[in-house]
Structure 1
Amino acid sequence: MAENLKQVPEGKVLRFTGGERLSHWVHAFSYLILLFTGLAVMSVTFRPVMAIVGGIDNARIIHRVFAIVFVVIVGLLFFIGERKHHWSWLRSVFVWTKADAMHVKAFAVEFFGGHGNYPPQAKYNGGEKINSLITIFGTVFITLSGVIMWFPQYFPIGLVRFAYPIHDLSMIFMTAALIGHMYLSLLHPESRVALQGMVKGHVPESFAKTHHGAWYEEIQKQEKS
């Protein structure tokens, strides 16, 4: 922590390390490629657009290549490099507090441009934890169903048929979460500041205090000690 803080400009707070940002962008980029090619595989409506990649056959190949990136590369980052931060995130999204529940309750106000009335939040607030859970479970279901669809000869026909709607529903939920996530990070007047954390690694102290007050106090204590 202390070593990373030396690289943070004055008035800023380290939000995400290089390893955390790498995981995020590999996951995001590979998912967008999977979504783009997957829509063409799923529906003939989108197939004319696949001329960009040389046709539907190439789209299927690209889809499978990035499926491996989506699962294997991101998965490996939990075991190499900055493992502590990845596992800390995974544990935190399954631990809910009263502050998280109050954030979710006030989230409608936050989502539509205001600042919700909620207590100081940890590094990941209630809304971010919900987004993370959708990502985690969506990834699990879309991966398992994708493996079954990729190798149908090794599974019962009933399970193969069941895998298709599971794959599609997982995609729908994850894409809905992605749209909300992009709105908050690119357009929302208050929360779009958070994008700096995923691009540069740090955010303004003012943002950390107002949106993640409990986490800000924690890192201030760590810095002093």
Structure 2
Amino acid sequence: MSLRADAPVRATEVRRFSRAERWVHRTSAFLMGVCVLTAACLYVPELAELVGRRALVVTVHQWAGLALPVPVLAGLASRAFRGDVRLLNRFGPHDRVWLRAALRRDKRHSARPAGKFNAGQKIYAAWIAGATLVMLGTGLIMWFTHLTPLVWRTSATFVHDWLALTMGIVLAGHIGMALGDPEARRGMRTGAVSREWAEREHSQWRT
């Protein structure tokens, strides 16, 4: 995808994501998808028999995992991406209100004030970033077996396997939430969302 300047949006729309941000998301999603699919082929016997070529699957899994941080690191060259990272790392009073409403299952928009990102999205971003780093670290220990003692490799395998299962569940939830919000998907696909949606879902976002 080209990283040229974004096309202007209509008066009824607001810019949500730049081209660079969408590139980071799509590339990261692709690499994560490769990791999940290859992991399934390695651990689910039926899939392993269907696909075969275990050595090739292992190699693809390893290199896709090693490449996972690259899109984010490349995205730091974008001012818009850095700005959104700062927003994701900051919790405000309205985020606590959002979380309390979510725990009460209060779905009223007025009860869930949010900036550009709501509290759930901020928690998800922090969790997936931390989990990815842990998966990368444990994966490297499992890959370069001659560099670490057996107890480290055993522990790394345990953490890697169970965290992978947890990540699969969380990613499924993330995809499910996205499927339930066509406007949010449009924002990630085109970079723009309707002004009405932004004011309703992200009332604290200063567009």
- The TM-score, its normalising length taken from structure 2, stands at 0.88
Tell me how large the CA RMSD over aligned residues is: 2.0
Task: Quote the residue 1:118 is aligned against.
Answer: 111
Q: What's the secondary structure of 2:114's corresponding residue? A: coil
- 1:132-190 deviation line (CA, Å, top 9, x unaligned): 1121111111111111111111112211111112112322232222111111111x2xx
Task: Quote the residue 2:185 is aligned against.
Answer: 195
Runs of 4+ in 1 over 4 A off after TM superposition: none
Which of 158, 161, 168 is the equivalent residue of 1:165? 158
Task: Quote the residue 1:64 is aligned against.
Answer: 62
- 1:206 shift after superposition: 0.8
Structure 1 counterpart of 2:101, one-letter code: A
Task: Quote the residue 2:99 is aligned against.
Answer: 104
Q: What's the secondary structure of 2:204's corresponding residue? A: helix
Structure 2 counterpart of 1:144, one-letter code: G
Q: Distance in 2 between matches of 1:183 and 1:143?
A: 25
- 1:65-101 deviation line (CA, Å, top 9, x unaligned): 21233123432322x3x1x233333333332122112
Counting only pairs closer than 5 Å after superposition, residues 137-216 of structure 1 correspond to structure 2 as 137-186=130-179, 188=180, 191-215=181-205
The reply on whether 1:18 has 2:19 as its aligned counterpart is: yes
Percent identity at matched positions? 22
Unaligned runs of 5+ in 1: 220-225
Bigger relative contact order (CA 8 A; separation at least 6): 2
Which of 81, 84, 89 is the equivalent residue of 2:84? 89
Counting only pairs closer than 5 Å after superposition, residues 25-36 of structure 1 correspond to structure 2 as 25-36=26-37
Unaligned runs of 5+ in 2: none
C-alpha contact (below 8 Å) 1:21/1:198 kept by paired residues: yes
Q: Distance in 1 between matches of 2:155 and 2:73?
A: 25
- 1:172-212 deviation line (CA, Å, top 9, x unaligned): 232222111111111x2xx3321111100011111100111
Q: Distance in 1 between matches of 2:173 and 2:110?
A: 20
C-alpha contact (below 8 Å) 2:35/2:61 kept by paired residues: yes
